[in-house]
Amino acid sequence: MKIDDGFPGGRIETVRLPGRGPIELAIGEDSAADVRQWFCFRARSTRPREIVLVNAGDATFPAAWEGYGVMACADGRSWYRAPTEYDDGALRFLHEPRGEETLYAYFAAYPLRRLERLLRRVSREDHVDVSIVADSPEGRPVPVVTLGDPDAERSAWIIARQHPGETPASWAVEGLLRRLADASDPATRALLSRACVRVAALVNPDGAELGNHRTSATGVNLNRVWDDPDEDAPEVGALLELIRETGADVFFDIHADEAAPHAFAATSEGNPSYDGGIEAAEAALTSDLAQSCAEFLDEPFYERDEPGQGDLSCAANQIGETFGCPSITLELPMKDAGSERVRPGWSPRRAVRFGEALVPVLARALDADEG
């Protein structure tokens, strides 16, 4: 069997490649930080083989592996879950060749090429503009898509992929952008008739290309520097400046959680200026998300922050505190086991649909805000 991670976003370590018996691989560390979770590699073998990630138990979030299936793609398009078992600190799955070569990943990879194609396509629409807000430390562009009239009365911001391994966020952004680019869609028309929507689709391009899970090329967890981004986090510094210029009436930061079997929101109840108005707006938003998105449960998965104890170094807390607007971190699942109330089989396709469903939710949030 041949194992290869020499491509953008690839990351795996080879431990042992015996002629027979299980192939032993290890999850690698982020390029400049002590984080271990993301893996992505190509395997070539015409025979079925067992593959073992021998150090899965030492991952940063080992709860990820309960009820989890490794994602695989053999045709460059459709992803499926390989039969997977987590036992005694090792993640074992079966390589069953469906083509010459199979791509394996923690969750369906979202290549930069695919994002570039998407941005080219949406930028052809009259009401869409794509600009570059910053260059990353390794010189990659951080794009922002502006949809609708930049001088509109209301402003919505959505950012995604601060944490590069959380690829479900990119699939959701694809659904969101495709729908927002379609000026004939009634929900899009309703939203853009009064609001400008700005989408930072890939906040951490270096981390994504390096195959990191949680950090940038400089080893920074970008979602912990929004109170004071320095020269090691130019991605956040430039975005924060632009958001301060445009203002925000609603803010979503899209992530994915390793342990959760469903999507959920972290709200901004810990912010010093949090009040009844914001609480009601965020409650209406999360209730609407639960009704609009099959994967979303309107209940906290993380412990709620105590009053005044919110972490203002996180994007959603910082923007909510600055603008007094509903501001939430949206967490999508990575695993596919589902739960009592969410059906199993979470996939890139369902993440795309989740993103599409955000359009009417945003429209209603800004409507309520105005009324």
Q: If you compute the radius of gyration of the chain from its CA atoms, what whole number of angstroms results?
A: 20
Q: Which is nearer to Zn ion, 62 or 97 (CB)?
A: 62
Q: Which residues of 280-298 are buried (b: 16+ CB within 10 A; e: fewer)?
A: ebbebbbebbbebbebbbe
CB-closest chain residue to Zn ion: 255
- Shortest approach of Zn ion to residue 110 CB, angstroms? 14
- Could you tell me the smallest distance in angstroms from the CB atom of residue 313 to Zn ion? 13
CA 114 to chain centre: 15
| Residue 161 beta carbon to Zn ion: minimum distance, rounded to whole angstroms | 9
Other beta carbons within 10 angstroms of residue 21's beta carbon come to 10
The span of 36-44, 160-168, 187-195, 258-266 binding Zn ion (CB under 5 A) equals 160-168
CB atoms within 10 A of CB 207: 36
Sheet holding 2-4, edge to edge: 2-4, 40-44, 102-105, 71-73, 79-81
Q: By CB neighbour count within 10 A (0-12 exposed, 13-18 middle, 19+ buried), where does 57 fall? A: middle
Hunting for tokens 């010093």 — which residue is that?
A: 272
Q: What is the maximum span of the chain, computed from C-alpha positions, in angstroms?
A: 68
Q: Is 331 a catalytic residue?
A: yes
* Distance, CA of 83 to CA of 312 (rounded, Å): 41
Residue at 145: amino acid letter: V
213 contributes a contact to Zn ion by CB under 5 A: no
Q: Determine the size of the site formed for Zn ion (CB under 5 A).
A: 3
- Smallest distance, Zn ion to C-beta of residue 15, A: 28
- Please tell me whether residue 262 binds Zn ion under the rule CB under 5 A: no
Neighbours of 309 (CB within 10 A): 11
Closer CB to Zn ion, residue 154 or residue 163?
163
CB of 178 to Zn ion, least distance (A): 23
73 forms beta bridges with: 79, 103
What part of residues 166-185 is at the interface with Zn ion (CB under 5 A)?
A: 166
Select the span of 36-44, 81-89, 135-143, 157-165 touching Zn ion (CB under 5 A): 157-165
| Residue choice 11, 163, 198, 213 for contact with Zn ion (CB under 5 A) | 163
255 touching Zn ion, by CB under 5 A = yes
Q: How far is the CB of 314 from Zn ion (least distance, A)?
A: 10
Given 235, 331, 356, 370, which residue is catalytic?
331
Contact window for Zn ion (CB under 5 A) among 100-108, 123-131, 162-170, 303-311 = 162-170
Interface residues with Zn ion (CB under 5 A)?
A: 163, 166, 255
Question: Residues with catalytic annotation?
Answer: 331
